[in-house]
Amino acid sequence: MENAQTSKREEWFNRNYKKLLVIPAILLILSLYYVFNTFQETGDIIHRDITLTGGTSVTILGDIDKEGLESFISGKFDDYQIKEVRDLATGKRDAVIVDTNAGADETKDILEEFLGYELNEENSSIEFTGAVIGQGFYQQLRIAILFAFVLMSIVIFIIFRTFVPSLAVILAAFADIVMTLGIIDFVGIRISGAGIVALLMLIGYSVDSDILLTSRVLRSREDSVNERILSAFKTGMLMTLAALGAVIVALIIVYRFSDVLTQIFGILTIGLLFDIINTWITNVGILKMYVERKSPGEIK
């Protein structure tokens, strides 16, 4: 009975694995659309926060009325964002963080008008990032991501020494990044330096299961192609789900308590979910087509 069920699943997979490639293809096209749309609107592929564009960040200590503050400063700044900082144990609001694209003095004056008292070192902290510094930092992070992706691609080609399987791994990693950016742009998340670092980390997360899959499929000679894919799937999914579980738990813990960590773990969660699709549909489909067109003697 079990062998019959396995045979039916294998027949279904053999008939439909090419059709399944439509799913990641549609997701990639939609993601590219949102990324391109964001580029047309902002001149960049992401919405950047003040750490990457320049501006003022003011942390005001105390249980500040966030809704009232947002209503008060609405229209006074061209661009602003208000975030909360809460106590990890009690959930009590300990501070609010106000980010604006204005100068430090202008931001301070408007906030003091709302609060009714002077902001000083005891009840607040003010940080100003110049536009040139923010832009320079962003350029360095972009170069780091590009450099990491290029190095990853070179290593993949060195490991497998075959064009199509290597390209499949690189395509899966590329799709992970683009699809994650598509969700970020669709939701309208403002990316900070921490978010760029998360995308950099995602490159490493993206290729581990792809390398495992490609190694099992190309270098194993004992089992059928489907059996090699299934073996890699069991190990790879365990790895991905373990990482995903840890990231989700961390995201739940830090949510509303740390915007920096929330952004990092949020981006990794999105990327790992897309990695499941791009590894076990996209990469599997390309590899299966490649191997079935090669005789066993030609597979390195």
- Please determine, for residue 1, whether its predicted confidence score (pLDDT) is greater than 60: no
Measured N-to-C along each axis, helices 131-160 and 193-219 cross at an angle, to the nearest 10 degrees, of: 10
Number of structural domains the chain divides into: 2
Write b or e for each residue in 179-194: b if 16 or more Cβ atoms lie within 10 A of its Cβ, otherwise e: bbbbbbbeeebbbbbb
Q: Which of 129, 152, 180 is the last residue of a domain?
A: 129
Q: What is the pLDDT of residues 72-81, one digit of tens each?
A: 888 788 778 8
Check whether residue 73 and residue 125 sit in a common domain.
Answer: yes
Q: Is the dihedral of CA 293, 160, 172, 43 positive or negative?
A: negative
Report the distance separating Cα 74 and Cα 294, nearest Å: 63
Beta strand 190-191 with 47-48 is parallel
Does residue 29 surpass a pLDDT of 90?
A: yes
Q: Are 44 and 158 contained in the same domain? A: yes
Same domain, 125 and 136: no
Residue 295 has pLDDT above 60, yes or no: no
Specify the CATH number for the domain of residue 183.
1.20.1640.10
Residue 190, helix vs strand vs coil? strand
Which segment, 9-13, 68-72, 143-147, 216-220, is predicted with the most confidence on average? 143-147
Residue-level pLDDT at 243: 92
Q: What is the residue whose two structure tokens read 């999105």? A: 270
Q: Do 111 and 242 lie in a common domain?
A: no
Q: Do residues 39 and 65 both lie within one domain?
A: no
pTM of the model as a whole: 0.85
Name the residue range of residue 248's domain: 2-48+132-298
Q: What CA–CA distance (Å, rounded) separates 81 from 77?
A: 10
Confidence band for 121, pLDDT divided at 50, 70 and 90: confident
Residue 267 has pLDDT above 90, yes or no: yes
Q: Quick one: average pLDDT of 82-101?
A: 79
Question: Tokens representing 296?
Answer: 């066993």
| Residue where one domain finishes, among candidates 129, 148, 183 | 129
So what's the pLDDT on residue 280? Answer: 95
pLDDT tens-digit readout, 271-291? 999 999 999 999 999 999 998
Contact yes or no for 154/207 (Cβ under 8 A): no
* Residue 74 φ/ψ, nearest 5 degrees: -60, 125
CA 81 vs CA 60, 101, 102, 113: distances in Å: 14, 9, 12, 18
Span 206-220, pLDDT tens digits: 888 999 999 989 877
> Is 128 a residue whose pLDDT tops 90?
no
How large a percentage of the chain has pLDDT more than 70?
A: 95
183 and 293 in a single domain? The answer is yes
Residues 52 and 138 sit within 8 Å (Cβ to Cβ): yes
For residues 255 and 271, give the distance between their C-alpha atoms in angstroms, rounded to a whole number.
18
CATH number at residue 88: 3.30.70.330
CA 83 – CA 60 distance, rounded (Å) = 11
Q: 82, 99, 129 — which closes off a domain?
A: 129
pLDDT confidence band for 235 (50 / 70 / 90)? very high
* Tokens (6 digits) for 62: 């105390």
Q: What is the pLDDT of residue 293?
A: 84
C-alpha dist (Å) from residue 2 to 5, 13, 93, 241, 266? 5, 16, 56, 26, 40
Give the highest mean pLDDT range of 32-36, 91-95, 197-201.
32-36
Helix/strand/coil for 137? helix
Tokens coding 115 = 């609060």
Whether 151 and 275 share a structural domain: yes
Q: Are residues 195 and 238 in the same domain?
A: yes
Residues 181 and 123 in one domain: no
Task: Read off the pLDDT band of 165 (50, 70, 90).
Answer: very high
Examine the domain organization and report whether 175 and 274 are in the same domain: yes
Q: Residue 296: pLDDT above 60?
A: no
- Predicted confidence (pLDDT) at residue 298 exceeds the cutoff of 70: no
Examine the pLDDT at 70 and tell me if it is beyond 50: yes
pLDDT at 131: 73
Token pair recorded at residue 33: 């659309």
User: Within this chain, do residues 170 and 257 fall inside the same structural domain, yes or no?
Assistant: yes
200 and 289, same domain (yes or no) = yes
Output the pLDDT for position 299.
Answer: 42
pLDDT of residue 5: 65
Instruction: For 173-193, write each residue's pLDDT tens digit.
Output: 999 999 999 999 999 888 988
Query: Phi and psi of 214, rounded to 5°?
Result: -65, -40
Average pLDDT in the chain? 87
Closest CA to 45 of 132, 128, 145: 145
